[in-house]
Structure 1
Amino acid sequence: MEWFDDNSSSSSNEVAQTIIDEIHKQKQLLAQMYSQPASERVVHHRQYVHCDREAAHLRLMQDYFNDNPTNGPTFFRRHFRMQKEMFLRIVEAVQGEDTYFQMSHDARGRDSLTPLQKCTTAIHQLATGVSADTFNEYLKVADTKGCLCLKRFCEAVIRAFGAEYLRRPMQADIGRLSDTRGATRISRDAQES
């Protein structure tokens, strides 16, 4: 639009008047649009993209969490940087802290992502440092949902475990850590001899 052109020789009053005129035009267009009955208005819907979240959950269960998973405990620990029992303890605690991690339904009445899918997305991001969009193919979690999972997960973990783990260490904690490290050093020295 010419009223934004710095080379224009029009005065500041003309520019201001042009802006005001443009605002009035937009206001009239909005008033005209909202004066129409709702049935005649053009409604823009979001495009629905079908992703098989249910199959993704079943695949996740088969790969890691069933009684006889495809990927054993060694792979689980390497993939998530923790043991499966610890992982499930965290998932359970997060579900108790935030309703976002409880099973729910989307606007179409379909099951939303399972708590396990949401927590897996967040924990894998934290464990490996990958971006949220890497889970779209495997877990059917889009990048925006992955970022939201990570944010809500961190907040829920802090609420669930903050009092116990986000505090200054006590003398007993330091002693226990020293004993553990000392025992590890002694066992390594014995193995090397």
Structure 2
Amino acid sequence: MAHDNLMNNYFNPNSVYTEEDFKCRFWIRRHVFERLVHNVQQVNPYFRQKLDRAGCPGFSPHQKVTIALRMMAYAFPTDAMDDTYDMSESTCLDTLAEFYETIVHLYKEEYLREPNQ
């Protein structure tokens, strides 16, 4: 249900929030977010949606990337994510750590450089 709400609010056609609302909320444009979701799924299987032991779908890639970006952008505490996105504190921390590692792996060559004098 949290995934459906997220998709209806921000990503589906005729979503509740506009492109400008999205940019204000996530600090990036929607197409950049979508490219980021696509890229992290390609590199790290953690960001692909899987079935849990009961056969129910786990967290979606959109949910995981949203959690990571919101925690970084707003310094949201992990327990606040449980109320909004139904993700436990430990899963939020795991997601954030996986996101950091994946972003460094993906974009290190293009955006990171050695410090100069």
Using structure 2 for the length normalisation, give the TM-score: 0.92
Unaligned runs of 5+ in 1: 1-54, 170-193
Number of residues of Structure 1 aligned to a counterpart in Structure 2: 115
> Which of 2, 7, 17 is equivalent to 1:71?
17
Pairwise CA distance, 1:168: 5.2
Instruction: Tell me how far apart the structure 1 counterparts of residues 52 and 12 of structure 2 sit (CA, whole Å).
Output: 26
Instruction: Tell me how far apart the structure 2 counterparts of residues 131 and 96 of structure 1 sit (CA, whole Å).
Output: 28
SS in 1 for 2:84: coil
Instruction: Tell me how far apart the structure 2 counterparts of residues 128 and 82 of structure 1 sit (CA, whole Å).
Output: 13
Work out whether residues 93 and 157 of structure 1, in 8 Å CA contact, stay in contact via their aligned partners in 2.
Answer: no
SS in 1 for 2:104: helix
Instruction: Tell me how far apart the structure 2 counterparts of residues 84 and 110 of structure 1 sit (CA, whole Å).
Output: 28
- One-letter amino acid of the structure 2 residue matched with residue 142 of structure 1: S
Q: Percent identity?
A: 30
> Which of 95, 105, 111 is equivalent to 2:51?
105
Aligned to 1:152: 98
Pairwise CA distance, 1:63: 0.5
Q: Please give the per-residue CA displacement for 1:26-80, whole angstroms capped at 9, x wherever unaligned.
A: xxxxxxxxxxxxxxxxxxxxxxxxxxxxx11110001000111101112111111
Instruction: Tell me how far apart the structure 2 counterparts of residues 160 and 113 of structure 1 sit (CA, whole Å).
Output: 22
- One-letter amino acid of the structure 1 residue matched with residue 109 of structure 2: A
Aligned to 1:165: 111
Asked if residue 140 in structure 1 is aligned to residue 83 in structure 2, the reply is no
Work out whether residues 73 and 84 of structure 1, in 8 Å CA contact, stay in contact via their aligned partners in 2.
Answer: yes
User: What's the Cα RMSD here?
Assistant: 1.3
Work out whether residues 121 and 132 of structure 1, in 8 Å CA contact, stay in contact via their aligned partners in 2.
Answer: no
Structure of greater relative contact order (alpha carbons < 8 Å, 6+ residues apart): 2
Using structure 1 for the length normalisation, give the TM-score: 0.57
Work out whether residues 94 and 157 of structure 1, in 8 Å CA contact, stay in contact via their aligned partners in 2.
Answer: yes
> Which of 116, 123, 126 is equivalent to 2:72?
126
Instruction: Tell me how far apart the structure 2 counterparts of residues 143 and 75 of structure 1 sit (CA, whole Å).
Output: 27
Asked if residue 85 in structure 1 is aligned to residue 31 in structure 2, the reply is yes
